[in-house]
């Protein structure tokens, strides 16, 4: 089987030969007639990877629900979400599945989702997302972070629930603003790192707290990561603080983060500061991208399109040069794949027959224009075409 | 003639009756069969208005040209653009026309374009854009600002060229960072306001200079606006400074701007501070939106879609509530129309048969999801459908 007439990111044109479920060769474009799927010179990209999504929060597919947050703090939004959650009648399985279908149509085949765990919800959202993971198992890989959205100390019993979430199938333990939400850096991190150590899993902590207060927490996460031998298994999501402290401070922090093997996730925040992505990368820190909120009680925005997300990251980081856009692209592909520990990822000879095609001549152009994906191919099958899932959905 | 089954922003459903080239009535949705164009319950919006575009800068339709700026300052980008401009072989008429076609397909029927004028270019770009305006005169209205992109003092002879540009058909005189670029607030503004007064035209000044230095310039523009009786005819584009000074300072400035009738244009900047749009509006300052750069020597981003621009403005302003998204929408429709002085604008009985339809149930949803426009109607004719211009292009 062949896919004909592909443009690779280096500008070369190839036919893609498939054998035994793998890409067996990249051949010169055949001039004679050949059976196969004609890609029409479209640019071929590896699958997009969403390093931070909330499958259980989205309201996608429901009638429009206006944002109900009384104020602009994280606490205000937690309260607003609790009200929206209490009022909803459609299970998270349904809305989350809507989102999975939408992101697959835009080329995302791997994701890390955070799932709310607190003493009101218990493990209900985890169970919904586990069902989603099972339902779409042949289409996408879904890594699950048990996420204490209501805090750990503020929501007694949550530490035990997080631990149980791991036992029931979550892959990592999450955290949330140890100081800003729980008001106790050590107690919050004690709980998280105890679970991570006991269960042998990684950590991904939401950190919105800005300025030096936020930086202090990031450095303490780094210290504990090294102390518990979790290097390479810990991420800090958002880390707005890294964008609001002095260059000296963030440069020193970058070296610390690199040594501790801590990855930084950014979604290119609209209303907050963005970490200095190039500086972090230059100092050896893994930076990766994610959607964060998608039409949920937190934000009306977002659609899960990771090429658009790369654009937003680049836009907020003031990226303009092609090599900068390539970094933004890397954040939503290879870098996110490394953070998720995907062992069989990438468009290459010997690799899986997973790829995305888009009308563009370079990666930079693909990020800047982020046209509708012409094809999404998973395990050699076309699962989406011109932005629409192919029905019946392959399963 | 009728357009059937429209959803209006207030949620009501109507048939749109057309007579004598105007919307003659909004009728209850007919239950009996009726001739007409079925809008299928799509949301009907007034035409989108781009308050700040650069038709002469875009490279749209050319092979991808990587950004060549050596650094991150406005001066670096001016220099890079001069190199790109010198190397280009395709006339601005062609690329600018590509952009007009693209924005019409997304529902923009009115725009204010800045056109570079300096002592290297002379009035060449103006002549190209005048040709574009003439070519598309039945489809879009184009207001032209003669824009001293290389400065006025730094590019001797530019003041005379700006004056001549007005004589030849430009509608407003522009300006650029009087201190940051020309290093002389008074001399720069003397030149601009002299032309505006002599020619009886408005003013639209690019102001990237931030902080208190930028604020000082904005206040001096306000002082001169009142002194020359130009209230209501002056805009400051970008005005990043309003987003980087103290709340006290910007609140006082807002009152001054309101009194002077100065409008503030924001494109929702990615790498700079955004003016406090709600505060300005609450103090009576007109705020409006524009695309700014679209795939040109300045930026790889942008596509001219003003619903997407409203999203970006809302994203950067940290808007989440429906009434906030309505403000962002207003900035790219009615507010921009007021700034452009459009006398025959708006979707209403008695108004022109110009409108846009999109799959959404509320304005907020339209901004957040910004789906492809299902129809763009100009003077009662469908000029674009599902994001594609209808060919042959109506002229």
Decide if B142 touches A, using CB distance below 8 A: no
CA geometry: angle B385, A305, B388, nearest 5 deg: 15
Tell me, what's the pLDDT at B32? 77
Domain end residue (candidates: A297, A323, A339): A339
Q: In a mutagenesis test of the B interface, which of A270, A292, A297, A322 is the best target, namely the one with the most B β-carbons within 10 Å?
A: A270
Task: Measure A191 CA to nearest chain B CA, in Å.
Answer: 32
Query: In this structure, are A270 and A334 located in the same domain?
Result: yes
pLDDT of A351 above 60:
yes
**Which residues on B lie below 8 Å from A325 (Cβ)?**
300
pLDDT at B372 over 80: yes
The CATH number given to whatever domain includes residue B144 is 3.20.20.140
Q: What CA–CA distance (Å, rounded) separates A330 from A48?
A: 10
Q: Does the distance separating the beta carbons of A271 and B318 come in below 8 Å? A: yes
Residue A389 has pLDDT above 70, yes or no: yes
Q: Is the pTM of this model over 0.80?
A: yes
Is the same domain home to A27 and A170? Answer: no
> Domain for residue B395, yes or no?
no
**Does residue B311 share a domain with residue B171?**
yes
> By the CB < 8 Å criterion, does A228 face chain B?
no
Residues of B in contact with A295 (CB under 8 A): 368-369
- Kindly state whether B315 is in contact with chain A, defined as any CB-CB distance less than 8 angstroms: yes
Q: Are residues A38 and A59 in the same domain?
A: no
Domain match, B161 and B79 both: yes
| Closest residue, chain A, to B308 (C-alpha) | A301
Give chain B positions within 8 Å (CB) of A67: 320-322
User: Per-residue confidence at A394, pLDDT binned at 50, 70, 90?
Assistant: very low
Query: Quick one: pLDDT band at residue B92, thresholds 50, 70, 90?
Result: very high
Decide if B364 and A64 are in contact by the 8 Å CB cutoff: yes
Q: What's CA B197's distance to the chain center, in Å?
A: 23
Distance from the Cα of A156 to chain B's closest Cα (Å) equals 30
A64, A272, A316 member nearest B362 (Cβ):
A64
Among candidates B63, B67, B364 on the partner chain, residue whose Cβ is nearest the Cβ of A300: B364
pLDDT exceeding 90 applies to what percent of chain A? 95
Mutate to test the interface with A, among B60, B106, B300 (most CBs of A within 10 A): B300
Please report residues of A whose CB lies closer than 8 A to that of B300.
320, 322, 325, 364-365, 367-368
Give residue B30's pLDDT. 84
Output the average pLDDT for chain A: 96
Clarify whether residues B231 and B358 are in a common domain.
no
Check whether residue A165 and residue A283 sit in a common domain: yes
Q: Is residue B86 part of a domain?
A: yes
Which of B63, B295, B320 is closest, CB to CB, to A69? B320
Kindly state whether A311 is in contact with chain B, defined as any CB-CB distance less than 8 angstroms. yes
ipTM: 0.97
List, for residues A164-202, the tens digit of each pLDDT value: 999 999 999 999 999 999 999 999 999 999 999 999 999
At A118 the three-state DSSP class reads strand
Mean pLDDT value of segment A284-294? 98
Do residues B53 and B195 share a domain?
A: yes
A381: DSSP letter: E
User: Are A225 and A373 contained in the same domain?
Assistant: no
Q: What residues contact residue A161 under an 8 Å CB cut-off, 6+ apart?
A: A117, A118, A119, A122, A123, A146
- B357-371 mean pLDDT: 97
Task: Please judge whether A362 and B312 are an interchain contact, meaning their C-beta atoms are less than 8 angstroms apart.
Answer: no
Q: pLDDT band for position B393 (50/70/90)?
A: low
- Rounded to an integer, the average pLDDT of A221-242 is 98
Grade residue A34 by pLDDT with cuts at 50, 70 and 90. Answer: confident
CA atoms of A275 and A208, how far apart (whole Å): 11
Per the domain annotation, does B59 fall within a domain? Answer: yes
Are B364 and A316 within 8 A, CB to CB?
no
What are the tens digits of pLDDT across the range A126-140? Answer: 999 999 999 999 999
In a domain? residue A394 = no
- What is the token pair recorded at B339? 């700034």
Mind listing the pLDDT tens digit for each residue in B288-316? 999 999 999 999 999 999 999 999 999 99
Domain co-membership, B56 together with B177: yes
In a domain, A52, yes or no: yes
The per-residue pLDDT for B375 is 98
Number of domains in chain B: 2
Instruction: Measure Cα distances from B81 to B55, B57, B67, B208, B295 in Å.
Output: 14, 9, 9, 17, 12
| Same domain, yes or no: B155 and B191 | yes
Is A308 in the same domain as A173?
Answer: yes
For the segment A132-151, the average pLDDT, to the nearest whole number, is 97
- Domain assignment present for residue B394? The answer is no
Contact A318 B365 (CB under 8 A): no
Q: Which of A320, A327, A371, A372 to mutate against chain B (most B CBs within 10 Å)?
A: A320
Q: A83 and chain B: CB distance < 8 Å anywhere?
A: no
Work out whether the CA dihedral B174, B178, B181, B187 comes out positive or negative.
positive
Nearest-CB residue to B67 (from A69, A72, A321): A321
> pLDDT confidence of B371, banded at 50, 70, 90?
very high
CB contact under 8 A, B316 and A271: yes
CB distance A321–B69 less than 8 Å? yes
- A-chain CB neighbours of B364 within 8 Å are 64, 66, 300
- Does residue B394 have a pLDDT over 50? no
Q: Band of the pLDDT at A211, cuts 50, 70, 90?
A: very high
Residue A130 to residue B69: CA distance in whole angstroms: 48
- In a domain? residue B36: yes
**What is the per-residue pLDDT for A393?**
62
Pairing of strands A108-116, A141-147: parallel
Question: Are A320 and B369 in contact (CB < 8 Å)?
Answer: no
Q: Which domain holds residue B116?
A: 48-339
| Secondary structure of residue A312 in the 3-state scheme | helix
CATH of the domain at B383: 2.30.40.10
A316 to B271: CB separation less than 8 angstroms, yes or no: yes
Q: What is the distance in angstroms between the CA of the first residue and the CA of the last residue of chain B?
A: 21
CB-based contacts of A158, cutoff 8 Å, min separation 6: A117, A118, A119, A148, A150, A151, A152
> Cis peptide leading into A10, omega within 30 of 0?
no
Q: Give the span between the Cα atoms of A125 and A115, in whole angstroms.
A: 6
C-alpha distances (whole Å) from A323 to each of A42, A224, A269, A289, A367 are: 21, 34, 21, 16, 11
Q: Is residue B187 part of a domain?
A: yes
A348 and chain B in contact, CB less than 8 A: no
> How does pLDDT run across B25-79, given as a tens digit for each residue?
999 998 776 789 999 999 999 999 999 999 999 999 999 999 999 998 989 999 9
b/e for B144-163, b at 16 or more Cβ within 10 A?
Answer: bbbbbbbbbbbbeebbebbb
Q: How far is B291 from chain A (nearest CA, A)?
A: 13
Give yes or no for B12 touching A (CB within 8 A).
Answer: no
pLDDT score for A30? 84
Percent of chain B with pLDDT over 70: 99
- Put simply, the answer to whether B321 touches A369 (Cβ < 8 Å) is no
Q: Measured between CB atoms, does A315 come within 8 Å of chain B?
A: yes
> What percent of chain B stands above pLDDT 90?
95
Please give the interface size between A and B, counted as residue pairs whose CB atoms are below 8 Å apart.
Answer: 84
B11 CB within 8 Å of a chain A CB: no
């Amino acid at each position: 089987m062949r896919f004909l007439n592909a443009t690779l990111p280096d500008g070369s044109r190839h036919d893609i030969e498939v054998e035994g479920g793998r890409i067996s060769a990249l051949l010169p474009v055949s001039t004679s007639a050949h059976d196969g799927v004609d890609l029409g010179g479209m640019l071929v990209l590896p699958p997009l990877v969403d390093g931070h999504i909330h499958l259980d929060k989205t309201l996608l597919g429901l009638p429009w629900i206006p944002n109900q947050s009384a104020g602009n703090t994280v606490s205000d939004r937690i309260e607003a979400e609790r009200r929206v959650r209490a009022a909803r009648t459609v299970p998270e399985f349904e809305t989350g599945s809507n989102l999975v279908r939408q992101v697959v149509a835009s080329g995302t085949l791997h994701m890390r989702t955070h799932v709310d765990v607190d003493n009101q919800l218990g493990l209900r959202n985890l169970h919904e997302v586990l069902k989603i993971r099972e339902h779409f198992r042949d289409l996408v890989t879904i890594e699950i972070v048990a996420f204490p959205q209501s805090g750990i100390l503020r929501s007694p019993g949550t530490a035990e629930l997080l631990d149980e979430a791991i036992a029931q199938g979550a892959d990592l333990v999450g955290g949330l603003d140890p100081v800003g939400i729980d008001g106790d850096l050590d107690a919050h991190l004690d709980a998280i790192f105890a679970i991570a150590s006991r269960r042998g899993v990684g950590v991904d902590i939401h950190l919105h707290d800005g300025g030096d207060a936020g930086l202090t927490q990031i450095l303490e996460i780094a210290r504990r990561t090294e102390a518990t031998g979790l290097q390479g298994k810990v991420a800090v999501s958002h880390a707005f603080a890294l964008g609001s402290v002095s260059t000296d401070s963030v440069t020193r922090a970058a070296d610390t983060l690199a040594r501790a093997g801590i990855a930084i996730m950014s979604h290119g925040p609209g209303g907050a500061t963005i970490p200095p992505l190039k500086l972090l990368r230059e100092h050896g820190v893994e930076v990766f991208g994610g959607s964060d909120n998608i039409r949920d009680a937190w934000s009306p925005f977002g659609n899960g399109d990771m090429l658009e997300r790369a654009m937003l990251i680049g836009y907020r980081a003031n990226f303009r040069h092609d090599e900068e856009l390539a970094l933004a692209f890397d954040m939503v592909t290879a870098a996110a794949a490394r953070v998720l520990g995907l062992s069989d990822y990438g468009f290459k000879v010997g690799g899986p027959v997973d790829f995305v095609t888009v009308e563009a001549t370079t990666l930079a152009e693909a990020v800047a224009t982020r046209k509708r994906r012409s094809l999404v191919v998973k395990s050699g099958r076309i699962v989406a075409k011109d932005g629409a899932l192919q029905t019946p959905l392959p399963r």
